[in-house]
Structure 1
Amino acid sequence: MSAQNVLNLIKEKNIEWVDFRFVGLSGKAQHISLPAVEIDEDTFVNGVAFDGSSIPGFRGIENSDMVMMPVTETAYVDPFTAHPTLIIMCDIFTAEGERYDRDPRGIATKAEEYLQSTGIGTDAYFGPESEFFIFDDVRFETGMNKSYFEVDSEEAAWNTGRKEEGGNLGFKVPVKGGYVPVQPVDTQQDIRSEMCRLMMEAGIRIDRHHHEVATAGQGEINFRFDTLTKTADNLMKYKYIVHNTARQHGKVATFMPKPLFGDNGSGMHVHMSIFNAGSPLFYEKGAYANMSELAIYYIGGILHHAPAIIAFTNPSTNSYKRLVPGYEAPVNLVFSKGNRSAAVRIPIAAVTPKGARIEFRTPDSTANPYLAFAAMLMAGLDGIKNKIDPRKLGYGPVDKNVYDLSEEEKKDIRSVPGSLDEALDALEADYEFLTAGDVFTKEFIENYVEYKRAEAKAVSIRIHPHEYALYFDC
């Protein structure tokens, strides 16, 4: 879509405001709105200025002038605003006109450019499965003398005896019993369908939606894969629509990995493949799971560098409340065909040559998608370049339920980091593969680690309510 096409769309849809958006290190969207009558072709040439010093992890106040450069192909009409508004994602540049090396979207674009420069392939395709909860109520507070959270849902297992409903209607979702039940157990069919309708109107191709395993409103909507940066753009759009549709229904949606103790958390399983000029590179008929040697090496790169890339794919302290055995979270760094207990699963049901792909099951949606997808691609490409064979390094294949293996069988299997700090330690020890092609810079990684260390410390120094249960009577 050209700048002129965007200007035509503004007239056609009677747009009043144009919302320019970018994504910071946290993965959250930021925005500035301009009157549509002030938008012309120069806007797309000169960009929109903003203060980079007010964005955590960006720039100091002494050098804060930055520019959002609109990416016209990302334009779509905001389905939620009272005044007709057009949303456009942007890349970030310095005031001097250089691409900003801390811009997550710019890093994703550089990763795609690096793939093409290697001669391995032309396109990397990504398809995330981002799970979420929809609650009716959320309350939390942390302070000097109190710390708590409380969430509620009309379909939660703990509400079988609740009287406040004006007559309890039953049909609650049992713990770990929420996978694809029909109504009335699934209370959120219409909300998810509305989310899907709005996503399709915004240009996202929807595959399916359903209730997920956990009680209290866990759901999943799958959308069609695309190239790396476009998929990250779509995931930002997806989360925006999920959050705001839930709000319109008087509910609240969260992509937090582990909002409930004792039930499944929300992951973001990521499917990946590489094509060369339209031809799939991951398929070889008759090989293990019909995977080519190139695909096996890609898996080797993912598993070998997993502790480091998990600092991007699972970048919150809450991520490691989900990455524990027993809740379908893959904590063991092995690969397998069709096996959901492995960190890397190779889908084998109804797969065509063009559908041949791998699935990295560890990530969650606290990830900044631009950084996470770029890190995964760089790890996989390093595996291909250096022929990292996971079969020779103890990464499988393991075609059994990993959780059922004996201690002897599991003794040589590596596990994911147990905390955000451990993942950041791994990133500091293993980052060279990310700097190939100047995709990630050493300065960016150092800044990212410092930014995330502060989050980890903020949690670690605070008193946990369960510590009162354990130690108050000492």
Structure 2
Amino acid sequence: MTDWLDTIPEAARAYLEGRRLDEVECVIADLPGIARGKAVPASKFARQMKFYLPDSIFYQTITGDWGEAANEEGFIERDMILKPDMTTATAAPWTGDWTLQVIHDAYDRNGDPVPFAPRNVLRRVVDLYRAQGWEPVVAPEMEFFLVARNIDPSKPIEPMMGRSGRPAAARQAYSMTAVDEFGPVIDDIYDFAEAQGFEIDGITQEGGAGQLEINLRHGDPVKLADEVFYFKRLIREAALRHDCFATFMAKPIAEEPGSAMHIHHSIIETETGNNLFSGPQGGETDAFYYFIGGLQNHLPSAIAVLAPYVNSYRRYVRDHAAPINLEWARDNRTTGIRIPISGSESRRVENRLAGMDCNPYLGIAASLACGYLGLMEKKRPSEQYRGDAYAGASDIPQVMGQALEVFDKATDLHEVLGPEFARVYSIIKRTEYEEFLQVISPWEREHLLMNV
């Protein structure tokens, strides 16, 4: 066991210094981004550097039902081989004993990556960039709500009680006083993140009641997706310590803004180390415009991945802090594609369409895939939008069913993400959508029961 512990990241070694490791959680993200896996004693993990799970974990909907996504052999629940990526070993500091988490990669019996495992989908896209001599760089922003405990699905979600004993206030964006209301939860978030070796770029109060945003430092897409995957669990655990819930629903409270996972993109030329979006004199390159053009042309096909649930589409509301179209502009937060203020070395493109409810591996993969297609097709975007983009027309799917129809036709996007992934994803999401359509909502009972 000593040998493998010597290979884990420094933060994990520091966490265990002078302590005896009790347990290792072997985890993998399913399609929704839920951690699946096994917890094993540390002594067993040291002897067994792989384990098995059925491929059916990727055929399961968010409700626990199953989509008919198995291949021609049928639903036989074939075992996948899961191998640990020891660079992802990190603490689970909320547990009662000394525990590490390790993300695993999924392979079939021939040693090939399972094509619908989300981490493998993202790796596939990153490898396409690297084959061109490019290194993609991303920086995710995570928005979420801290809400009062809610164990009754029929009750509306309410803001949590702050430190002052008052419910969290809305429309207090960037207020330090509002951030102080959640001080004990934020303190635990910082402590957990430090124990896990994650660097937070900042925490701010957003516009919703109890809504916060955490920014992460830019870096390798797979590493950053791992961090978002870990952060969702970390934040939930910190909230539970203080009698509240953390939710990453796209739109948990009807009157409040939704929660996004904005994704900032840049690309480094491997040979030179230069930003592909900036020329020798610091100007914007053709590649910069092609990337934006790719987002404009292909994001409609990827919305089903960036907005994966029926609730996701409640976020795209005019004048409510989320984009309604694919206009692009510099330093303009009303557009779906924003170019932040930056120097030429850090020039980047921000995709504001993704919801925080998306699987981080798949959301980042889909966004990078659209930009990659733009770079390959070399099509320039529309003219930069001037003014308030909410005044423009909506040009993105408005409901899950429509988004899936567009996704199913996008064979060029499927080739980048992987055709087998696209097949499985569509089946699972259509199954979820059909499940939703069987539910009668309170609105329908209130307005239709006696009036139609």
Same-fold status (TM-score > 0.5): yes
For residues 240-275 of structure 1, give each alpha carbon's deviation from its aligned partner in whole angstroms, at most 9, with x where no partner exists: 110000011111100001111122111111111111
Q: Report the secondary structure of 2:177's partner residue.
A: coil
Contact 2:22 2:42 in 1 (8 A): yes
Q: Which residue is 1:446 aligned to?
A: 423
Q: Which residue is 1:326 aligned to?
A: 319
Q: Give matches, 1:40-439, under 5 Å.
A: 40=46, 43-44=48-49, 47-57=50-60, 61-119=75-133, 121=134, 123-141=135-153, 148-155=154-161, 173-174=169-170, 177-183=171-177, 186-215=180-209, 217-277=210-270, 278-284=273-279, 291-348=284-341, 351-391=342-382, 396-403=383-390, 405=391, 410=392, 413=393, 415-436=395-416
Contact 2:148 2:161 in 1 (8 A): no
Q: Which amino acid aligns with 1:311?
A: A
Contact 2:159 2:168 in 1 (8 A): no
Distance 1:19 1:344, change over 3 A: same
Given candidates 37, 40, 44, the residue that maps to 1:38 is 44
Contact 2:23 2:98 in 1 (8 A): yes
Q: Which amino acid aligns with 2:316?
A: L
Q: Report the secondary structure of 2:255's partner residue.
A: coil
For residues 114-170 of structure 1, give each alpha carbon's deviation from its aligned partner in whole angstroms, at most 9, with x where no partner exists: 111123x1x1111111111111221333xxxxxx232233559xxxxxxxx9xx965
The CA RMSD measured in Å over matched residues stands at 2.4
Q: Report the secondary structure of 1:257's partner residue.
A: coil
Distance 1:210 1:313 in 2: 23
Distance 1:101 1:465 in 2: 40
Contact 2:292 2:371 in 1 (8 A): yes
For residues 379-432 of structure 1, give each alpha carbon's deviation from its aligned partner in whole angstroms, at most 9, with x where no partner exists: 1111111111113xxxx31021112x3xxxx3xx55110011111111111132
CA shift, 1:191, in A, is 1.5
Distance 1:286 1:276, change over 3 A: closer
Q: Report the secondary structure of 1:89's partner residue.
A: strand
Contact 1:155 1:185 in 2 (8 A): no
Q: Which residue is 2:6 aligned to?
A: 5
Contact 1:6 1:75 in 2 (8 A): no
CA shift, 1:48, in A, is 1.2
Distance 1:214 1:200 in 2: 27
Contact 1:308 1:431 in 2 (8 A): no
Superposition TM-score, scaled by structure 2 size: 0.89
Distance 1:443 1:55 in 2: 12
Distance 2:186 2:120 in 1: 31
Q: Which amino acid aligns with 2:384?
A: P
CA shift, 1:12, in A, is 5.4
Distance 1:370 1:172, change over 3 A: closer
Q: Which amino acid aligns with 1:31?
A: G
CA shift, 1:3, in A, is 3.7
Q: Which amino acid aligns with 1:280?
A: N
Distance 2:176 2:280 in 1: 38
Q: Report the secondary structure of 1:279's partner residue.
A: coil
- The runs of 5 or more residues in structure 1 that have no matched partner are 142-147, 157-164
Contact 2:168 2:181 in 1 (8 A): no
Distance 1:247 1:185, change over 3 A: closer
Distance 1:213 1:118, change over 3 A: same
Distance 1:129 1:11, change over 3 A: closer
Contact 2:121 2:421 in 1 (8 A): no
Distance 1:108 1:397, change over 3 A: same
Q: Report the secondary structure of 2:332's partner residue.
A: coil
Distance 1:108 1:346 in 2: 23
Distance 1:19 1:209 in 2: 28
Distance 2:179 2:109 in 1: 54
Contact 1:132 1:255 in 2 (8 A): yes
Q: Report the secondary structure of 1:359's partner residue.
A: strand
CA shift, 1:20, in A, is 0.7
CA shift, 1:320, in A, is 0.4
Distance 1:171 1:181, change over 3 A: farther
Distance 1:471 1:388, change over 3 A: same
Q: Report the secondary structure of 2:362's partner residue.
A: helix
CA shift, 1:283, in A, is 2.3
Distance 2:116 2:136 in 1: 22
CA shift, 1:293, in A, is 1.9
Q: Which residue is 1:161 aligned to?
A: none
Contact 1:183 1:189 in 2 (8 A): no
Q: Which amino acid aligns with 1:96?
A: N
Q: Report the secondary structure of 1:312's partner residue.
A: helix
For residues 23-69 of structure 1, give each alpha carbon's deviation from its aligned partner in whole angstroms, at most 9, with x where no partner exists: 111111112111111233x633xx11223335535756524211111
Distance 1:471 1:293 in 2: 54
Contact 1:172 1:185 in 2 (8 A): no
CA shift, 1:225, in A, is 1.6
Q: Report the secondary structure of 2:130's partner residue.
A: helix
Q: Which amino acid aligns with 1:43?
A: Q
- Aligned pair 1:16/2:22, yes or no? yes
